[in-house]
Chain A
Amino acid sequence: MTRKQKRMSVILAGLAFLGAAAGLTFYALGQKASYFYMPADLATASVPPGQRIRLGGLVEKGTIMRGQGATVAFSVTDKQKSVKVTYTGILPDLFREEQGVITEGAFGPDGVFVADSVLAKHDERYMPKEVADGLKAKGVWQESTN
């Protein structure tokens, strides 16, 4: 093979790789990325049961119910709407009432959001960024002076 042919074949192989990877990437971004919603967004966006989403907001006061075993039920609110969530497992250390959380999972057929992961911020000083931005956009939360 001449130098030119060799270079062409390497470039072609590289392009084929990139093409395959790009195809996979676009497919995966369409299928496997989960979108973030706040409870009030769900009224306008129709999210079918079973589709994975991330749901964020504040843990509504007085709604945390520790039921049988390791299952916990609570409501996530953005002060306009609230959504019932159930979760089986260990809640993060910073999970508490009025605290910003992000839950990930899907709606069950009964309209209850079944979360398989619940994230709270690692540090008490901050709120999950998505939740803070969302609440700010809805005008229900201002940046505290702290």
Chain B
Amino acid sequence: MVETGHFALVLAFALSLVQMMVPLVGARTGNQRLMAVGGPVTVTGFALTALSFAALASAYAGSDFSVASVWENSHSLQPMIYKITGTWGNHEGSMLLWVLILTFFGALVAVFGNNLPATLKANVLAVQGMIGAAFFLFILATSNPFIRLNPAPIEGRDLNPILQDLGLAIHPPMLYLGYVGFSICFSFSVAALIEGRIDASWARWVRPWTLVAWMFLTGGIAMGSYWAYYELGWGGFWFWDPVENASFMPWLAGTALLHSAIVMEKRSALKIWTLLLAILTFSLSLLGTFLVRSGVLTSVHAFATDPARGVFILCILTLFIGGSLTLFALRASRLTAGGLFHPISREGALVLNNLFLTTATATVLVGTLYPLALEALTGGKISVGAPFFDLTFGPLMLPLLAIVPFGPLLAWKRGDAIAASQRLIAAFALAIAAMLVTGLFINGASVFAALGVGLAVWLVGGALTDLAVKSGFGSVAPAVMLRRFAGLPRSVFGTALAHLGLGLTLLGIVGTLCFGTEKILSMRPGETVELSGHTLRFEGLSPQKGPNFTEDRGRFLLLGADGNADGAINSAKRFYPVRQTVTTESGIRTIGLSQLYLSLGDENNDGSVVVRLWWKPLVTLIWGGGLVMMAGAAMSLLDRRLRVGAPAKGRTPAAALADPT
């Protein structure tokens, strides 16, 4: 089975070489038959990659330690779920997942792209083939997951304990669906540059792909943030760690792309800019892959460092970013610019959004790469953390968030700022009220806290105002309004939900950062501690045994106002004997939207235990907001006009055939 997987991977590489050349030649020479090769080859390549991945997963599931990667990252005592998720919990397997998703997206274009002009489709598939070929070669040459060991070890070395978590089952696949999803936008852009023109179907296709990728990237980042929050036991949700930035930069650029693609689709303006943005977004995804996978950064994601891998990915990076930007420089002038618009208009607002977002991306890029560059050039080592980003990223985000509610209320082409402001008066009053209430009535609220809460309420209010105005609130009868509300295009709901989610996330961040409290103390069994109105009693440590670990579980009782127990929180120190590693399992109790977070430290000689306790108001909104943003993207995707790949002609005959039965 393992050899079958290995062989399938080699075949998939060979097919990707065909995929990158034959359709391209076909499109250049106008040869229909050569162009038609692209589709079947792409789909077969996906099937082979899937087979290869399944072979690896079954080696993991069956604990076949004669495979080096399984031996290094699995153990026969691990629960089955972690045996399977361990498939991508290591460098080799995660790269295989990366190409699996890449070929999956390619296959989607091949299957659903029948309504695309033949040459465009051929070129898109060829570019996908190039990316695929580069990464297949990378895997086969430097990170082959199928290498065998002889003699086969009896037992494996266990998966890194902090990766033995359900979060790992979801976070990497989602993140990759996002990262790699942008490859489609990239391929479409490069294909358009190769052809030297952007036609209407180009615009119609790029936006849904951006939405899909953005939706998964949002989910992947939110999931990763929550996983780090509860698994690492530090109680933080974002560390401005270079690896986090690596996924955040494509998200920022992708958000900009999402917005500029709207302008391009609706008004066929900003074409060249959108095309450049699509290239940049995927370039940032590649950069992220490089940063995370090459070992230049030390982090939980850098599974192993091997200089050859870093150099190889750097070559891929240079080739694709350099190549696409060169092509852009050569061909962009041939593309025609789109329609005119007044600065105060929907387009104008979206351009402003793009300016803010791309500049913010640039500051994150500098903060992430500067320490690496400095070390390479001078050997000096610096660390750029939260204080840097607070000072650069923060000031760029605040004005952007403040103008978000105006965007959807402005008309295309020429908007009326005063009318938009009048409509937003209720939301504005609400925001001011929230600001005043926070500032005046909550103890210890800083100016920033009040501003932050006000801004969050402003975003939520703005999103609701948008829906209210568009369904005719106040100007038509309630029944008509309801009917109009139900009849609003799904993309209007999408926009409102996404902006609402942004407001919720902001509220969660402000709530946690500005009103959270924290205590570090050493406790003996029977002692109680009080934090922000919650009383906890330490019941003591008890040893427990898991499938592949032992733990000292600390039990804490949450005491209600009457002194009775109101539920328990457990936090544990886990010891994984195979890797000789200790991990902290944090104890979390959700109360409303807030959480009580507890993390167990070391045991002192006198029998007391160090305990760190946080009260995190509204913290669940941080990730809840991310889910709402995802829901917004999903809603937009359901919009009739841009259902992914809904072929105008392709489906109708099939439906007609199905009908008579």
- Point out residues on A near B: beta carbons under 8 Å: 1, 3, 6, 9-10, 13-14, 17-18, 21, 24-25, 27-29, 31-36, 54, 66, 69-70, 88-91, 93-94, 104, 121-124, 126, 128-130
Contact A88/B605 with A35-B380, A35-B381 known, Cβ cut-off 8 Å:
no
| A13 CA to B348 CA, complexed, in Å | 12
Q: Does B327 contact A (CB under 8 A)?
A: no
Q: Are B381 and A93 in contact, CB atoms less than 8 angstroms apart? A: no
Q: A66-B605, A91-B602 are in contact. Are A21 and B359 (CB under 8 A)?
A: yes
Find chain A residues with CB under 8 A from B342 CB: 1
Those 10 A-B pairs whose CB atoms lie nearest each other, nearest first? A90-B601, A36-B381, A32-B387, A93-B582, A28-B391, A129-B298, A32-B388, A70-B520, A33-B382, A21-B359
Q: Pick from A33, A91, A126: contact of B298, CB below 8 A.
A: A126
CB-CB under 8 A for A21 and B381, given A90-B601, A90-B602: no
Q: Which residues of B contact A104 (CB under 8 A)?
A: 383
Task: Tell me whether A128 and B298 are in contact in the complex, defined as CB-CB below 8 angstroms, given that A32-B384, A90-B599, A122-B162 are known contacts.
Answer: yes
Instruction: Flag if B391 contacts A36 (CB, 8 Å).
Output: no
Chain B residues positioned under 8 Å from A18 (CB to CB): 359, 362
Measured CB to CB, the nearest residue on chain A to B580 is A124
Q: How many A-B contacts if CB must be within 8 Å? A: 117
**How close is B515's CB to chain A, nearest CB, in angstroms?**
20
- Complex contact B601–A70 (CB within 8 A): yes
B344-360 vs A, CB cutoff 8 Å, 1 = contact: the mask equals 00000001000110011
Please tell me which one of the listed residues A24, A36, A70 contacts residue B610 in the complex, with CB atoms under 8 A apart. Answer: A70
Do residues B521 and A70 form an inter-chain contact, with CB atoms below 8 A?
yes
B522 interfacial contact with A, CB 8 Å: yes
Chain A residues, Cβ within 8 Å of B30: none
Contact between chains at B381 and A10 (CB < 8 Å): no
Interface range for B: 35 or more
Once bound together, how far apart are the Cα atoms of A60 and B299, in whole Å?
24
- Our pick among A13, A34, A123, A124 for the contact of B382 (Cβ within 8 Å) is A34
Chain A residues with CB under 8 A of B49: none
In the bound complex, CA of A90 to CA of B598 (Å) = 11
Q: Which of B162, B355, B522, B605 contacts A69 (CB 8 A)?
A: B522
Q: CB distance A88 to B383 under 8 Å?
A: no
In the complex, 10 of the A-B residue pairs with CB atoms within 8 angstroms, ordered by the A residue number, are A6-B343, A13-B355, A17-B355, A27-B391, A28-B391, A32-B390, A69-B610, A90-B610, A93-B583, A124-B581
The answer to whether B382 and A89 touch across the interface, beta carbons within 8 angstroms, is no
Chain A residue at minimum C-beta to C-beta distance from B348? A10
A123 touches B160 (CB 8 A): yes
The verdict on B579 contacting chain A, using a C-beta distance below 8 Å, is yes
Given A14-B355, A70-B521: A21 and B581 interface contact (C-beta under 8 Å): no
CB nearest neighbor in B for A132: B298
Q: Are A94 and B581 in contact (CB under 8 A)?
A: yes
B607 CB–A CB distance under 8 Å = no
Chain A residues within an 8 Å CB radius of B388:
28-29, 32-33
Query: Which residues of B from 583 to 613 have beta carbons under 8 Å from A?
Result: 583-584, 599-602, 604-605, 610, 612
Question: How far, in whole Å, are A39 and B530 apart by their CA atoms in the complex?
Answer: 40
Contact A122 B300 (CB under 8 A): yes
Expressed in whole angstroms, the minimum distance between the Cβ of B605 and any Cβ of chain A is 7
Q: Which residues of B contact A89 (CB under 8 A)?
A: 520, 601, 612
